[in-house]
Amino acid sequence: MNTPSDLSSIRDEDAPVSNEREQHPILSKVFYGLAIIIALWHIYTNTLGTVSELWNSVIHFAAFGLLAALTIPAIRTTRQSTGRVVLAVDILLGLAAVSCALYLMLFENNLYARGVVFNGWDWFFSILAVALILEFARRATGWFIPTLAFVALTYVPVWGAWVSGMFHFPGLTWETTLYRSFIAGEGMLGSIANISWSFVFMFILFGAFLIKSGAGDFIIDIAKAVAGRFIGGPGLVAVFSSGLMGSVSGSSVANTVSTGVITIPLMRKAGFPAKFAAGVEAAASTGGQLMPPIMGAGAFIMASYTQLPYLTIIAYAALPALLYFLSVAMFVRVEARRSGVQKVEENPPKVIDVFKKGWHCLLPIAVLVTALIYGFTPTYSAGIAIISVIVASWLSSNPMNLKDVMDSLVLGTRNMVTTAILLLTVGLIVNVVSTTGIGNTFSLLVTDWAGGSLFITIVLIALASLILGMGLPVTAAYIVLATLSAPALYVLIAESQLLSLLMSGQLPQQAQAIFMLAAPDAMSLLSAPMDTETAQSLLAAVPPDFKTTLLQQALSPHALGMALLSAHMIIFWLSQDSNVTPPVCLTAFAAAAIAKTPPMATGFTAWKISKGLYIIPVLFAYTSFIGGSNIEIIKIFFFALFGIYALVAAMEGYLEHPLNLFLRAVLAVIGLSMLWPHGLLLIDLAGLIAFLAMFAWSYKTNPPKLQAA
């Protein structure tokens, strides 16, 4: 089954992987066969198998190390003789990765029988495994990640002891460092590797099967049918299709390439400026990593960090993701009105006709959600959903045959190569952070720099994510930032909820007992409401050693869990900004290549359109958008929708007609009034009425002359 949505050349992560060797007459067949075997093995171990996590992780390393060696040359060369030498070396390196896995599986018990004392072979294979993963990471993602991993590894046995102050570390031996990095099931074979071979790979395979079954065409067609009739229709098609495609692809660059080749020319033909068209596609495709169920592997990593159910995470992530896409759509409508966008298709497809043709594409999603609701693990649910894709395709005019199934396995495996290498390498860094306690040190440092301010902490994390994103793909940037800064952010969010209880005079009795020990003079104040300054001074009087106990006594387990999830959501959202923020914004660069626009200028346009990446995390921090009741969440969503629209109009200087500086300032105040976490419904309603009045006046002043497609 070869459809226009065939994404066989698309990689899962942001760094492109050369496929020049995949065209080799022999290597292509070898790769094809290996990819099928690797995919089937992972499906088996994630559904029916009972292989240990360590063995799964090391087999995962060997399999994707071998594929990386075969498909990504160590050096690029056009000389045939040199190419043969490079190929021979790469084959040896791939087989070396396999030998490391075999050694660990066969001789792990011997090491423990010796009391975890290394012999010569333990030294050799541990060093070889670490060196190989760093080399494969260099090939797949460039020098930044392996350099960062090398600096982290050497910090433990070497230069940590040379550093003075907060980051001083007395050091561990090289033997212990290598043991924890490879053999012990920590480091490169630890929790991040477990996430890679289980959640991430299974859902990337699921996305590959969906694409091969024709879901890509269905997504584009349904986007045209739903959005094509509105003002700025071609731009809305880009937003809608990118959201749907991103929900299964999990990669912003793959999303941009797959939908952008259709939507960007469509937007340009309609009358959108080329740079704006590319920026919309980049911004919308970046949002694909925020859209459940895959979220660019973020949902699985978040579940591992927070120990919250995967289903809970994607449930709370859905409305914020929708709000982000609607914020991009607002920019589209404003630009469409300003540019006078024309019709492109006189007769866009009808929704009912598209559903009649492609309704079967929705069945696997329904099967996946149902399996999750019934309590199956995400990996087992993904396995069931993959089978359902094949079965559902038999209800269409192009049923998947055996060749299509094998092609899907190969596509998913190919898309996983860079991601697997990346996550295995990042595991080394995360292990150093946990081993040395540098994460707690960094959290204390962030708290100290921010002076206890939640807002300044978020700003610092945003800056850190941008800097890390210049060298790390977003998944890696999120993992590193979450390891370093999530504890500090979590405490500040929880403390903000505690302050609300103090100010309202509703502090539980068991929490008041903590104040009796820490600040006995304040007991008389706790039974009545108080102002913000008094509440902050009372909280500041509690010693740090008592803070954790105080939070546990004052807040429910649900509130604490949601505070932790909010912290991770904030970091995850802010980690996406490197996709669209110059100077390194690969998603925007990919869109610029399609639109033939200047990459850096396109990046700035995409950055402007992606403002939801910065606004919505503030809602996570200061409101109950994550973890609130259904009514609270819907209320926040509703007013934030109009508040963001007002800010978009203020930034663009255009609502339904051009706005002067005074009206832009008024709209900015109106938008902030609906977004500010004041908790007063009357202010929200006043802001909404004011915005609707301005919109109606602006629309009446400049009614649309043409119905754009």
pLDDT of residue 518: 67
SS (H, E, C) 537-583: HHHHCCCHHHHHHHHHHHCCHHHHHHHHHHHHHHHHHHHHHHHCCCC
Strands (E), 112-168: none
- Would you say residue 694 has pLDDT above 80? yes
Residue 332 CA neighbour count, 13 Å, CB half: 34
How far is the C-alpha of 431 from the C-alpha of 437, rounded, in Å? Answer: 10
Phi, psi (deg, nearest 5) at residue 658:
-60, 145
Angle (nearest 5°) at CA 490 between 489 and 493: 85
Mean pLDDT of 262-280: 87
Which distant-in-sequence residues (6+ apart) come within 8 Å of 562 by Cβ? 624, 626, 627
- Would you say residue 15 has pLDDT above 50? no
Please give the single-letter amino acid code of residue 71.
T
Tokens standing for residue 225: 């049918």
- Would you say residue 502 has pLDDT above 50? yes
- Read off the pLDDT of residues 644-664 as tens digits, 9 standing for 90 and up: 999 999 999 999 889 999 999
> Which DSSP string do the residues of 502-547 spell out, in sequence order?
HHHT---HHHHHHHHHH-GGGGGGTTS---HHHHHHHHHTS-HHHH
- Read off the pLDDT of residues 320-345 as tens digits, 9 standing for 90 and up: 999 999 999 999 989 988 888 766 55
pLDDT of residue 705: 63
Confidence of residue 85 (pLDDT cuts 50, 70, 90): confident
How far is the C-alpha of 287 from the C-alpha of 572, rounded, in Å? Answer: 12
Q: Domain spans of the chain?
A: 25-184, 193-400, 437-579, 632-703
Q: What is the pTM of this model?
A: 0.82
- Read off the pLDDT of residues 193-214 as tens digits, 9 standing for 90 and up: 998 898 888 888 988 898 888 8
Confidence of residue 690 (pLDDT cuts 50, 70, 90): very high
Of 312, 291, 191, the C-alpha closest to 566 is 312
How far is the C-alpha of 238 from the C-alpha of 228, rounded, in Å? Answer: 10
How far is the C-alpha of 217 from the C-alpha of 6, rounded, in Å? Answer: 9
Mean pLDDT of 361-368: 86
Query: Highest-confidence range of 30-39, 303-312, 415-424, 538-547, by mean pLDDT?
Result: 30-39
Alpha helices in 6-119 (DSSP H): 27-47, 53-71, 80-113
Query: Highest-confidence range of 40-49, 263-272, 517-526, by mean pLDDT?
Result: 40-49
- Would you say residue 19 has pLDDT above 60? no
411-428 burial string, b = 16+ CB within 10 Å, else e?
bbbbbbbbbbbbbbbbbb
How far is the C-alpha of 531 from the C-alpha of 515, rounded, in Å? Answer: 18
- Read off the pLDDT of residues 517-526 as tens digits, 9 standing for 90 and up: 766 776 777 7
pLDDT of residue 36: 95
Do 301 and 419 contact (CB within 8 A), yes or no? no
Mean pLDDT of the residues in the chain: 85
Of 152, 261, 282, the C-alpha closest to 578 is 282
Q: 514 or 169, which is more confident?
A: 169
